[in-house]
Structure 1
Amino acid sequence: MQTALSIMDFLDRAELVYGDRVGIIDEPDQPAASWGELTYRRIAELARAQAAGLDRLGIGRGERVAIVSQNSARLLTSFFGVSGFGRILVPINFRLKAEEIAYIVKQSGASLLLVDPELDEALAGVECAHRRVIGAATDAELYAFDQEPVRYPIDENDTATINFTSGTTARPKGVQLTHRNNWLNATLMALHFGASDRDVYLHILPMFHVNGWGLPYGLTGLGAQHIVLRKVDGTEILRRVARHGVTLLSGAPAVVTAVLDAAAAWDGPVPGRDRVRMIVAGAPPPTSVVQRVESELGWEFMQLYGLSETSPLVTVNRSRAEWDQLPPAERAEKLVRAGAPALGTRLRVDEEGEVLVRSNTALDGYWERPDETAAALRDGWFHTGDGGTLHEGYLTISDRKKDVIITGGENVSSIEVEDVLYDHPAVAEVAVIGVPDEKWGETILALVVLKPGAAADQAALIAHCKTRAAGYKAPTRVEFRETLPRTSTGKLQKFLLREPYWNGRERAVN
């Protein structure tokens, strides 16, 4: 017998087995009005009511529902209320500019756009057939408790979510992840990171990031408790760990730094010692930071490597029994590698040094981009665009073949930033590269050649970028050059530009 995998399997089990358990504790300071504590039975009721509300709006099977929101119980519930009933959820990065969000809404063909109240004014010009501000004022319209939702049949190969990534071009690509992709990713995440019904998970990671890496699904199915944190703050993270007995959390290296800084000023013992497991992704922090997590916080450091296109789990790095007696520095060196392949994942490095992946979590395709889908999935392997090496089963990422910079856990297309800078009237040529940064892993450096007779300083160019794209995409530094190195055919030689900043390092990425 074979039954279709559906992300609704996770909530169905939680309702059946853990119906009376508090499953979500919402952020108390939600501008949309907090939902407070929700049992798993209530979460399931809300998901069904949301699906019925979509029925009432005339939004049918396969239609897209876009949501732009910081972490909230409403967003978490939408993973089930939208995708679990035959529609496709499009979670959008709330840090993007209105023009960028408008493109994603149009490109995805969304029928409904749900907007966080704090973003309502900024996104007023984003058009959609149906647009609602999420919160107490619209709950009665969006959640129909007085009718049963239509139960559309779900095939495990149906698209469940479309997650937009910057990729390597100026326009984001929509990554189609199926129910099967998300189901297996969620299950593997729970397995490899040792999740159980005793876990209390703090949502620091923005849920729009590849569906919160699948943890909203997997931890729900196990009956774990979700603590919603709306905005990242090191001290508040420690407070939540202490107040709720948090055992598991995840985030980018910048979050690790924020927690360590807060711990240094914390009054009394740091909460969570010998209890908290922290999953880090986006880029490995320095070995010194890994040692500080273990010594100053007493938390277990774990790492994953992945991409939006792989749902995202590719590799896992977690301390193993053989490493227990190693000196802290030596153990940290092992933990900063990307890790070993997740169960069911096959890795290889091709003759050009690119990391290739074959797994059940690899994307179905890029939304309405068949040529790019064929290129990414050629020869039966997903081409990551990352350069790396494999040694004794463990992957180390050493370079990026794509023009992507990962800063603070966010992917930034260098080409996109270059396009924005080229629009400045004083800029003749520009190259954008990632350079190492202790806090953010990498930071964005723009190398600029000005037009003859033109004038512009660093502040003006950075300000120009911030008016055209999300703030995190703006360069943190601008250096002016007389020329930029190019090949005989005119192609920028970015490896030459990057070399001085990465010289002496084993890897050309952080």
Structure 2
Amino acid sequence: MPNARHLQPLPVPPGADALDVLPALERALDGEGPALLPVRSDDGAESRRLAEALAGPLTSGEDADEDPTALVIATSGSTGTPKGVLLTASALRASAEATHRRLGGPGHWLLAMPAHHIAGVQVLVRALLAGTRPDAVDTADGFRPDNFATAAHRVLAADGPHYTALVPTQLSRLISAGGDGLAALRKFDGVLLGGAATPPALLRRALDGGVRVTTTYGMSETAGGCVYDGQPLDIAEVRIDGGTGPVLLSGPMLARGYRHQPEAGAFVDGWFRTGDLGRWHDGRLEVLGRADDMIITGGVNVAPLPVERVLAEQPGVREACVLGVADPEWGQAVVAAIVPSDQARPPSESDLRAAVRAGLNSASAPKRFAFIPELPLRGPGKPDRRALAAFFQA
């Protein structure tokens, strides 16, 4: 390309002010403006770090006149090192249009999560393509059900389908609080739920309570969710190597690659190797968690996600996160951080172990538990396993 386009930081305000980025985002999608690197406007140090690592002229392999790179989404993935995911305008459009087809047509969107992450920015992209004005939840004091209700009522006043996207923690708060927030959530025609694994008990509570939840699986590299309720969108293909093995994804929603990494091994022959393990179960994709989160304890492989699902089903457990920590006897010990429903009356450790043994096997039963008020989170809503590992090891 004779005149290299530049990647320019796009400061994204939190909450309702995030809608201020819509004009710049629309220009990027149309190829009329620079490629954009969404960064938090309220974290100057982090924004400068990402800009120094990723901003600047795009190389010929990172852009193309016929399909310009519109966004570069910064993600640490599982390594903690910032990577820039090169998303073309066509990938973002393909993902958004496929979502509308699956949900029932273009509609009005409510932004409830940070718009510098792919799940949030795709809410804005879908609204732009639908030709509707999105609204946003005020998150100045964090995510609060009353603020969700206020913003939801504005969106629900418009004619046509109404959609929003949440992470499991937000859904849990809305259901637990009840009241106007939950009543408003029930009126949405589609509620996309992703960003982290959804506890089965939470999903049942939502569906039984009349919330039209659709679980999503995807990542920045796929322009957001591309598998809904275990079924690929009509543009996506899923491949699993072996009965249980690495999950690979393909389709027009795939990113061009990574910034400054022309030979990234995750993108090969039109497929993206996710780093997740999965299997097909009753015709649906079941994701078992990150391959690098696999725990090897006493020579036995233990996937954390199935253990978390069993624990989250037990009385008195609101949330659970399972991980492995170094152990002189077992190599790694299975440990679990539990958020009790009632902090004053946590569930019995022996009952929790017995449930895991009965539901899975003895090797999967946690050796140690920690009962904490909230799980530390990173990104849009994923448990921060590094922070929890440091907590257990301390």
Q: TM-score range by the shorter chain?
A: 0.5 to 0.7
Out of 287, 292, 302, the position equivalent to 1:402 is 292
Residue 108 of structure 1 corresponds to: 54
1:161 aligns with 2:71: yes
2:250–2:270 CA contact under 8 A, matched in 1: yes
- Return closer, same or farther for 1:244/1:181 CA change in 2, 3 Å cut-off: closer
2:37–2:55 CA contact under 8 A, matched in 1: no
- Return closer, same or farther for 1:96/1:370 CA change in 2, 3 Å cut-off: farther
Residue 316 of structure 1 corresponds to: 228
Residue 73 of structure 1 corresponds to: 19
2:275–2:291 CA contact under 8 A, matched in 1: yes
Q: In 2, Cα distance between the equivalents of 1:244 and 1:190?
A: 17
Out of 257, 262, 265, the position equivalent to 1:365 is 257
**Residue type of the alignment partner of 1:79:** L
- TM-superposed deviation, 1:157: 2.4
Bigger Cα Rg: 1
Residue 248 of structure 1 corresponds to: 163
Please report the TM-score for the alignment, with normalisation by the length of structure 1: 0.53
Residue 103 of structure 2 corresponds to: 193
- TM-superposed deviation, 1:67: 2.3
1:398 is paired with a residue whose SS is strand
Q: In 1, Cα distance between the equivalents of 2:283 and 2:217?
A: 14
Q: In 1, Cα distance between the equivalents of 2:319 and 2:50?
A: 26
Residue 386 of structure 1 corresponds to: 276
Q: In 2, Cα distance between the equivalents of 1:378 and 1:176?
A: 15
Out of 178, 199, 206, the position equivalent to 1:293 is 206
* Residues 192-341 of structure 1: pairs in structure 2 closer than 5 A: 192-196=102-106, 199-210=107-118, 212=120, 214-231=122-139, 232-245=143-156, 247-263=162-178, 266=179, 270-296=183-209, 298-317=210-229, 339-341=230-232
Aligned residues: 308
- Return closer, same or farther for 1:223/1:380 CA change in 2, 3 Å cut-off: closer
1:478 is paired with a residue whose SS is helix
- TM-superposed deviation, 1:379: 4.4
- Return closer, same or farther for 1:398/1:83 CA change in 2, 3 Å cut-off: same
1:281–1:305 CA contact under 8 A, matched in 2: yes
The CA deviation string for residues 108-143 of structure 1, in whole angstroms up to 9 with x for no partner, is 2248xxxxxxxxxxxxxxxxxxxxxxxxxxxxxxxx
1:479 is paired with a residue whose SS is helix
Residue ranges of structure 2 left out of the alignment (5+ in a row): 58-62, 295-303, 329-375
- TM-superposed deviation, 1:215: 2.8
- TM-superposed deviation, 1:165: 0.9
2:134 is paired with a residue whose SS is strand
**Residue type of the alignment partner of 2:240:** V
1:358–1:382 CA contact under 8 A, matched in 2: yes
1:171 is paired with a residue whose SS is coil
1:402 is paired with a residue whose SS is helix
**Residue type of the alignment partner of 2:228:** V
Q: In 2, Cα distance between the equivalents of 1:354 and 1:295?
A: 33
Out of 92, 109, 112, the position equivalent to 1:182 is 92
Could you tell which deviates more after superposition, 344-353 or 472-481? 472-481
- TM-superposed deviation, 1:240: 2.5
Q: In 1, Cα distance between the equivalents of 2:40 and 2:383?
A: 12
- Return closer, same or farther for 1:103/1:393 CA change in 2, 3 Å cut-off: same
- Return closer, same or farther for 1:279/1:390 CA change in 2, 3 Å cut-off: same
**Residue type of the alignment partner of 2:225:** L
- TM-superposed deviation, 1:95: 7.7
1:190–1:215 CA contact under 8 A, matched in 2: no
- TM-superposed deviation, 1:480: 3.6
2:391 is paired with a residue whose SS is strand
**Residue type of the alignment partner of 1:282:** G
Please report the TM-score for the alignment, with normalisation by the length of structure 2: 0.67
Q: In 2, Cα distance between the equivalents of 1:278 and 1:159?
A: 28
Greater share of strand: 2
* Residues 347-366 of structure 1: pairs in structure 2 closer than 5 A: 347-351=238-242, 353-366=245-258
2:235 is paired with a residue whose SS is coil
- Return closer, same or farther for 1:63/1:275 CA change in 2, 3 Å cut-off: closer
The CA deviation string for residues 205-251 of structure 1, in whole angstroms up to 9 with x for no partner, is 22111162523222222233311224121221123223442732111
- Return closer, same or farther for 1:364/1:223 CA change in 2, 3 Å cut-off: same
**Residue type of the alignment partner of 1:63:** H
1:271 is paired with a residue whose SS is helix
- TM-superposed deviation, 1:446: 6.7
Q: In 1, Cα distance between the equivalents of 2:224 and 2:120?
A: 10
Residue 353 of structure 2 corresponds to: none
- Return closer, same or farther for 1:383/1:154 CA change in 2, 3 Å cut-off: closer
**Residue type of the alignment partner of 2:281:** H
1:313–1:361 CA contact under 8 A, matched in 2: no
- TM-superposed deviation, 1:182: 1.0
Residue 266 of structure 2 corresponds to: 376
Q: In 2, Cα distance between the equivalents of 1:110 and 1:268?
A: 43
Q: In 1, Cα distance between the equivalents of 2:181 and 2:20?
A: 35
- Identity across the alignment (%): 22
Cα RMSD for the two superposed structures: 3.7
Q: In 2, Cα distance between the equivalents of 1:104 and 1:274?
A: 38
- TM-superposed deviation, 1:189: 1.5
Residue 492 of structure 1 corresponds to: none
Residue 62 of structure 1 corresponds to: 5
2:194–2:225 CA contact under 8 A, matched in 1: no
Residue ranges of structure 1 left out of the alignment (5+ in a row): 1-59, 112-152, 318-338, 405-432, 450-464, 482-510
Q: In 1, Cα distance between the equivalents of 2:236 and 2:150?
A: 37
Residue 145 of structure 1 corresponds to: none
